[in-house]
Amino acid sequence: MHPVTKDISAIKNEDAIKRSIRNIIQTLPYERFFNPLFGSNIRASLFDFIDFGTASILQQQLQVAVENFEPRVINSKVEVFPKPDENAFEINMSYDIVGQEFPVQQFTYILEATR
């Protein structure tokens, strides 16, 4: 929120794409009424063992979700690392933005079961 005008600022460019990817990660399929396939089903894997096998499954699910639902991104690379001591997974993503000559964008996200 802007401190003077109390207006909400718009997210633009790289930040909008980063927020979109985060929304894809956090949205379950059938959670959006008119687009039931949107999202990823990674929450189901969060309650499995926190090991490299589950990390590999999460990596494949995230890669497919980003390729299917974010057309502004190409050459996406997803790496998932288990953190069993923290009961979480660390997601590192890198991607290029279509039509822009920005350097490779990087995105790090901690995925944890909250319920």
Lowest mean pLDDT: which of 3-17, 30-44, 50-64?
3-17
Total domains present in the chain: 1
pLDDT of residue 16: 84
What are the CA-CA distances from residue 73 to residues 7, 35, 55, 70 (Å)?
29, 20, 22, 6
98 domain-assigned? yes
3 domain-assigned? no
6 domain-assigned? no
68 domain-assigned? yes
- Please tell me the total number of residues recorded for the chain in this structure: 115
Give the domain CATH number at 20.
Answer: 3.10.450.40
pLDDT of residue 6: 76
Question: Global pTM?
Answer: 0.77
pLDDT score of 23 more than 80: yes
Q: What digits encode the pLDDT tens for the residues 69-82? A: 989 888 889 999 99
pLDDT of residue 4: 79
61 domain-assigned? yes
Within 13 Å, how many C-alpha atoms sit on residue 9's CB side?
Answer: 8
Query: Domain limits at 19?
Result: 13-112
d(CA 44, CA 101): 37
